[in-house]
Chains A and B, each alone.
Chain A
Amino acid sequence: MADDKDVLRDVWFGRIPTCFTLNQDEVTEREAEAYYLLLPRVSYLTLVTDKVKKHFLKVMRAEDVEEMWFEYEGTPLKWHYPIGVLFDLHASNSVLPWSISVHFKNFPDRDLLHCPSSSVIEAHFMSSIKEADALKHKSQVVNDMQKKDHKQLWMGLQNDKFDQFWAMNRKLMEYPTEEGGFRYIPFRIYQAMSDRPFIQKLFRPVSPEGNAYTLGDLLKEMYPAAITNDGEQKRYQVVIHGIEPLLETPLQWLSEHLSHPDNFLHICVVPTPSD
């Protein structure tokens, strides 16, 4: 359907206007100006912020610069989460642009993974794709791909090439017609106020009777409090790529169209803002 293809593009090209300011404790030779950037929702912080680093390095001495890391309102931002997930989880109801603090010292290694090079990002990205395919196809599709095909997925993401990426990714979105969907849906549910990084469990897209499960069915099973019962006030928003899909949306459709390039459906449950 032409409409569904548009959804894929809209998801891929989603952007978040961001303002990067240098943390005031950093030592500079002169005043550092803020740096503005449109961040791709589907990418990763350390992959798209070379310009940010360059910009702030201009006003700093080499000896004051260690690994760059980012923080929002006191929370270190995990580069290995897609940017859109970080925003929806921490800042979805705040005023744009998203204000991120940049640090070059005191790397919080209890909270953040190190990211010494882009090959670390690539390894993490490919690892997610492989895990997603283990769930969807018992790894058959990803294992049948050649190394150059894997590379194409990564290069597509790295260079923001929608067509290059999807030429390969469409294989990961296929399933035998008689099955009605993937074996299991790769998803992760994030909650802002939780110790646990995310909820991820096995969940089939189709019932034994052949009925398609919905987003609501998934939440009822994995996170019942996210669903508002009749008469209750709505306490939580269920956000994917910055929007609240209808709970009646079939999960299989969401997995095929609203997954991130890592092939996971990342779902954020955030408290409804109290105006």
Chain B
Amino acid sequence: MSVCALNEKQFFSCCQLLLQQSEHLRDGWSWEAVQVRRPLNLNVDEQPGPVVATRLHSDGITGDGGDEDDAVCVMSEGSSHVLQYEYHILYSCSYSQLPVGRSVMLEDVWSSVHPNFRRCLQNSPLTAITQQEHPLLGQPFFMLHPCRTEEFLRPVLQEEQPR
């Protein structure tokens, strides 16, 4: 099995590539350094704070077109729904080490997913979705499982791997 491993530097450059693409496509990815509020009376954490790439996406029937005013869409005749999806890509240092033997994935893809969409993903053979606590924000998010993420992302990553 091939190794799909990114160290932090590689993760960062992949995100930069993603952001460049996103700017061309105008589909709204942004890079946010999460401000973790330090508790009172604590020394400053000198290590740079963890960063997350986020995208706010509203669902609608027409997902294409690059129209930037996609904030509100009408879902179907007779009813208007606004669904907001927030996707976070985070770097997990637990899985970032070069593995021996079976590969381990190292990107956690976080998303807050509408239950209908979630069901679609659960039926998909390449994804295992569970609800987990966001490691920085503390709120419940849905997470794509690392062991499955590799299958899902390998074709994408192989393009990026320097050989």
- Write the residues of chain A forming the contact surface with B, with a CB cutoff of 8 angstroms: 78, 80, 109-114, 120, 123-124, 127, 131, 134-135, 138-140, 143, 183, 186, 191, 193-198, 200-202, 223-225, 235
13 further A-B pairs in the complex, CB-CB below 8 A; given A111-B139, A114-B140? A110-B139, A113-B131, A124-B132, A131-B94, A183-B97, A191-B39, A194-B38, A195-B36, A195-B138, A197-B135, A200-B94, A201-B93, A224-B42
- Write the residues of chain B forming the contact surface with A, with a CB cutoff of 8 angstroms: 36-43, 47, 93-95, 97-102, 104, 130-140
State the CA gap A223–B102 with chains docked (Å).
34
Closest partner residue, chain A, to B132 (CB atom): A113
State the CA gap A131–B101 with chains docked (Å).
16
Pick the residue among B36, B37, B93, B138 that contacts A202 (CB under 8 A).
B93
What's the minimum C-beta distance from A246 to chain B, rounded to whole angstroms? Answer: 22
Pick the residue among B41, B130, B138 that contacts A123 (CB under 8 A).
B130
User: How many A-B pairs fall under 8 Å by CB?
Assistant: 75
A78 cross-chain contacts in B, Cβ below 8 A: 133
With A113-B132, A113-B140, A123-B130 as contacts: A195 and B37 at CB distance below 8 Å: yes
B131 cross-chain contacts in A, Cβ below 8 A: 113-114, 120
Closest partner residue, chain A, to B97 (CB atom): A138
**B36 contacts A140, C-beta separation under 8 Å:** no
Closest partner residue, chain B, to A115 (CB atom): B131
B102 cross-chain contacts in A, Cβ below 8 A: 139, 143
- Contact sample, A vs B, 16 pairs, CB 8 Å cutoff: A120-B130, A131-B94, A134-B97, A139-B99, A140-B101, A186-B94, A191-B39, A194-B37, A195-B36, A195-B137, A195-B138, A197-B133, A198-B135, A202-B93, A225-B41, A235-B41
**A197 contacts B97, C-beta separation under 8 Å:** no
A191 cross-chain contacts in B, Cβ below 8 A: 39
Closest partner residue, chain A, to B145 (CB atom): A127
**A113 contacts B133, C-beta separation under 8 Å:** yes
**B133 contacts A143, C-beta separation under 8 Å:** no
Closest partner residue, chain A, to B96 (CB atom): A202
Closest partner residue, chain A, to B100 (CB atom): A138
A198 cross-chain contacts in B, Cβ below 8 A: 135
What's the minimum C-beta distance from B32 to chain A, rounded to whole angstroms? Answer: 15
